[in-house]
């Protein structure tokens, strides 16, 4: 009887600890990231657990467009997974089309606290897409929360 009770307590402890470190890891990302045409990086001194300013730089001689939508991914076991939103939170975006001209750099602040909450320790990336005519590329800015 003591062995059964000990096994049950051990299993409950493992389930509880696993749930606490889950960080809402979703499915493996389907996106192929292309950072050779456009780069994104976190502006130094702006990263917090709930926001960052991202510098986007067009390395080509062509104009690209981008919008408001983005999502966060987390690195888990050396693979990128989509970070699921906080329970009962949805993210809605307006749909303007911004222009990123050839050779241009722009800064954009992202605040993910409403959709994702404050991030726990880990390696993340913010992913968004850029378009040129009918071609869409996904670009990411990688960062670490310590």
Distance of CA 88 to the CA centre of its chain: 19
List, for residues 73-108, the tens digit of each pLDDT value. 999 999 999 999 987 766 778 888 999 999 999 999
Does some domain include residue 66? Answer: yes
pLDDT of residue 95: 82
* Count of domains forming the chain: 1
Weakest mean pLDDT among 20-29, 43-52, 83-92: 20-29
Domain range spanning residue 33? 25-145
Domain annotation covers residue 136: yes
> Does a structural domain hold residue 129?
yes
Whether residue 3 lies inside any domain: the answer is no
| Domain presence at residue 19 | no
Q: Is the pLDDT of residue 13 over 90?
A: no
Contacts of residue 91, defined as CB under 8 A and 6 or more positions apart, other chains included, come to 85, 114, 115
Q: Is residue 9 predicted with pLDDT exceeding 60?
A: no
Could you tell me if residue 18 is inside a domain?
no
> Residue 49's closest CA among 139, 107, 122?
122
Indicate if the pLDDT at residue 138 is higher than 80.
Answer: yes
In contact, 91 and 116? CB cutoff 8 Å? no
Does residue 35 lie in a domain region? yes
Can you give the pLDDT at residue 119?
97
Mean of pLDDT values over 30-48: 96
Domain membership of residue 50 (yes or no) is yes
What is the mean predicted confidence (pLDDT) over 119-124? 97
> pTM (2 decimals)?
0.81
At 56, which CATH number?
2.60.40
Taking only Cα atoms into account, the Rg of the chain, rounded to an integer number of angstroms, comes to 19
The confidence score (pLDDT) of residue 43 equals 98
């Amino acid at each position: 009887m003591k062995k059964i009770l000990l096994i049950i307590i051990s299993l409950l402890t493992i389930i509880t600890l696993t749930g606490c470190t889950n960080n809402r890891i979703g499915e493996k990302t389907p996106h192929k990231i292309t950072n050779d045409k456009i780069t994104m990086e976190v502006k130094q001194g702006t990263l917090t657990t709930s926001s960052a300013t991202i510098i986007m730089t067009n390395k080509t001689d062509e104009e690209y467009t981008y919008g408001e939508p983005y999502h966060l991914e987390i690195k888990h076991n050396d693979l990128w997974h989509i970070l699921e939103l906080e329970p009962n939170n949805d993210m809605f975006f307006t749909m303007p089309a911004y222009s990123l001209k050839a050779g241009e750099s722009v800064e954009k602040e992202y605040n993910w606290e409403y959709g994702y909450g404050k991030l726990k320790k880990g390696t993340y990336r913010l992913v968004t897409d850029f378009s040129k005519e009918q071609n869409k590329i996904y670009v990411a800015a990688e960062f670490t929360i310590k």
